[in-house]
Amino acid sequence: MSNLIEGFLGKSVEGKKSRIPAKLDYWQSATGLFLALFMWGHMFFVSSILVSKDFMYSVTKMFEGVSFIDGGNPFIVSVAVAIVLTIIIIHAVLGMRKFPANYRQYRAFRTHMKMMEHEDTTLWFIQAFTGFAMFFLASAHLFIMLTKPETIGPFGSADRMITDWMWPIYLLLLLAVEFHGSIGLYRLSVKWGWFEGSDAKVTRANLKKVKWAITAFFLILGLTTLAAYMKIGLEHRDHAGQRFQPTAMIIQHANSIIYSKNQNIDMNTETPFRALVARNFSGIHFQGKGV
């Protein structure tokens, strides 16, 4: 009953203001902070492709829980995606409170922003705009990760870029996330007075510099990574859909073939073995079960 009265009057039966707006503000920041830090980690994992396909593959397997499930299980990835997606939805619901709600508000803000040319005001607009864009961009990405986690990998992800035509979405999503996230972290700091120290104005100027450095760093890393996947995707276009086989597995398999056929061959010098490894490194892929 008190909910009815509270909803109707806009204050509690005791005449007190609701604590919910405080909670919403808190959770807006908490989810934003989580997402921004998560995106840092995410970027480092994704950029493992810059080291090597094998490394990216082992990072993928790590998230599939290979250390405690034999061969790993991509369903674990789906669960993680579902959690992140839920947090994004909560964050987006809370963020929506701040969007211009009608044309009058939008026009007032835009006129003011263009007229005043004040950096943090403009940055807020970029944040709101990129946040809006992520409703669509992030959903597209996350839905695929949710439903097809087993396709993540050096070739699977690369094929997605080129053969499945996802690169334009990833490019836009990258720009949106990096601007939104770094502006968001800066805003969090000034909003709650973190790192304030003895001179808040000096701190803020420094935070702003750090913010731009973070934006630049992650944009460069992100664009390079995206380019790397696109390159692999182009090279692998004719074999699209085929899964990556880590070098270690190929060597192991080669060993077993050689062993079974020719027990007395010296593994380190014998040519068939070398040829196998060399073929793998030159980008020719093995087909058939287990290879």
- Give the contact letters, 127-146, x = binds to another protein (CB under 8 A), - = no: --------------------
Minimum CB distance to another protein smaller for 42 or for 112:
112
Dist. CA 35–CA 130, nearest whole Å: 14
Q: Write the DSSP symbol of residue 244.
A: P
Number of residues that bind another protein (CB under 8 A): 33
Q: 91 is in the binding site of which of ligand HEM, another protein, none (Cβ under 5 to 8 A by kind)?
A: ligand HEM
Tell whether residue 88 is a contact of ligand HEM (CB under 6 A). yes
Contacts 24+ apart (CB under 8 A), 69-76: 74/149, 74/150, 74/152, 75/149
The reply to whether 177 sits near ligand HEM by the rule CB under 6 A is: yes
State in angstroms the smallest separation of the CB of 11 from another protein.
9
Residues in CB range of 171: below 8 A, 6 or more apart: 226
Shortest CA distance to 62 belongs to which of 47, 50, 74?
A: 74
Candidate segments 156-164, 196-204, 214-222, 227-235, binder of another protein by CB under 8 A: 196-204
SS3 270: coil
39 binds ligand HEM (CB under 6 A): yes
Judging by beta carbons within 10 Å of its beta carbon (0-12, 13-18, 19+), is residue 27 exposed, middle or buried? middle
Stretch of residues binding another protein (CB under 8 A), selected from 159-167, 185-193, 267-275, 279-287: 185-193
Closest separation in Å from C-beta 34 to another protein: 17
DSSP conformational letter for 261: H
> Cα separation of 134 and 137, whole Å?
5
Among residues 112, 100, 102, 95, which one has the least CA distance to residue 187?
Answer: 95
d(CA 132, CA 127) in angstroms, rounded, equals: 9
Task: Specify the stretch interacting with ligand HEM by CB under 6 A; choose among 64-72, 130-138, 159-167, 266-274.
Answer: 130-138
How many Cβ atoms sit within 10 Å of the Cβ of residue 93? Answer: 13
Tell which one of 45, 124, 129, 217 touches another protein (CB under 8 A): 124
* 202 makes contact with another protein (CB under 8 A): no
CB 59, CB 46: distance < 8 Å: no
Helical spans, DSSP H, in 1-118: 2-9, 20-46, 53-63, 75-96, 103-116
Q: Least separation, in Å, of the C-beta of 138 and ligand HEM? A: 5
Q: Residue 54 interacts with another protein (CB under 8 A)?
A: no
Q: How far is the CB of 29 from another protein (least distance, A)?
A: 9
What is the rounded distance in angstroms from the CA atom of residue 43 to the CA atom of residue 139?
A: 18
- Which of 29, 58, 73, 203 contacts ligand HEM by CB under 6 A? 29
Instruction: Choose the binding region for ligand HEM from 9-17, 93-101, 198-206, 236-244 (rule: CB under 6 A).
Output: 93-101
Residue 32 site contact among ligand HEM, another protein, none (CB < 5 to 8 Å, cut-off depends on kind): ligand HEM
Q: For residues 57 and 49, what is the distance between their CA atoms, to the nearest angstrom?
A: 8
Pattern 138-157, binding to ligand HEM, x per CB under 6 A? x-------------------
- Judged by the rule CB under 8 A, the positions of this chain that interact with another protein are 16-19, 21-22, 24-26, 97-98, 100, 105, 108-109, 112-113, 115-118, 120-121, 124, 187, 190-193, 196, 200-201, 204
